[in-house]
Structure 1
Amino acid sequence: MNNGILAGCRVYVVEDNYLLAMSVSDFLESAGAQVLGITGKLAEAQRYVSEHDGDIDAVVLDVNLRSETSYPLADQLVASNIPFLFTTGYDAASIDARFRDHPVCCKPFVPSALREMVSAICTRH
């Protein structure tokens, strides 16, 4: 059993850059998290959250997913009471005002900072 900072935390990663998504997954798993899945597609993420909302403790959510924003998924997560943090290559001030109370991890990020932010929102430790 892994006793890392994220031990027991089940995280879903929504990131359209495959290599970055794999790196995020590795960062989180090295801290003890269980990564439930990775996707870079909004519709796929929305479907997954609808079908597994009771299994998700936290979501790492890229603001921009190819040609669309992830705000519809953020709305869904808020409605389902699933904690999430945004990742973005832009300034945190660019986040839609509705979501300014959610943490933002700006890219490129330091793995330890991402792990700490996920730990802060994860509903299971």
Structure 2
Amino acid sequence: MIQADTIVHFYYDLETTHDYENSIRSYLKALTGPVTTEEIISIAPPFMSRSGLTSRVVVKFKVLMEERQSCKHLDDYVGTIFPTVKKNISGELISTQNLAISFVRSRENHQQKKINWEELYHHWNE
């Protein structure tokens, strides 16, 4: 798995101005899957847009992506973060600012080789 920490700017459509901050916060906290909320940075007051009542939201997300054969280096995943976020949030995505990208591998997937210390000791001391 690949994990990216990114700051996301997007427009979130609202039904009403009443308690809009709490409805956006509950939406962000409920996100699961490849995109999860790390920190809510800002929620702007609602305004009228072409699609109706909208608020601009800035959030720090953790994005998990599957490893791809076509990507040889971590830098190769930069272009996949925006589409992954866009596919997994509701609202109009404006931009992503990538902070960090790293490999995430569970310990279950790695078999640790057991070391026979006695054999190693004799190998180096003979």
Q: TM-score range by the shorter chain?
A: under 0.3
Higher helix share: 1
TM-score (normalizing by structure 1): 0.27
Structure with max Cα Rg: 2
TM-score (normalizing by structure 2): 0.27
Q: Which has the higher contact order (CA 8 A, sep 6+)?
A: 2
